[in-house]
Amino acid sequence: MNETLDGHSGEIASVTWNDKFNKLTTADSNGKIIVWINYEGQWCEEMVNKRDNTTITGMKWSPDGMHICIIYNDGTFDHKN
C-alpha cells in the first residue's frame, strides 16, 4: 500500500510497526506522535500524543503489541498502552 499520511507538521523522526495489531506509529521533529490503523482500506489516526518542543529519539512496541515505549531526547520516556 502506498499512501500519504497527513497529520504531521515537522519532519518524521521515527517510525515503528506493531506486528500484532498492524498499527503504524510515526513521530515528528515537533514531538507529535500518531498511531495509525487501517480501517476499511484507509489509514486513520487512532491516537495522537503531543509533547511540544521535544524530539523523539526512539519508539518500540512490546512483543505482545499492547504497550509502546517512547524515548525523548531529554532523557525521559513514556509507556503507553
- Residue 62 has a pLDDT of 95
- Residue 79 has a pLDDT of 63
Q: What parts of the chain have a pLDDT lower than 70? A: 1, 76-81
- Residue 31 has a pLDDT of 87
The model carries a pTM of 0.85
- Residue 35 has a pLDDT of 96
SS3 sequence, the chain? CCCCCCCCCCCEEEEEEECCCCEEEEEECCCEEEEEEEECCEEEEEEEEECCCCCEEEEEECCCCCCEEEEECCCCEEEEC
- Residue 78 has a pLDDT of 65
| Alpha carbon distance 14, 33 (integer Å) | 9
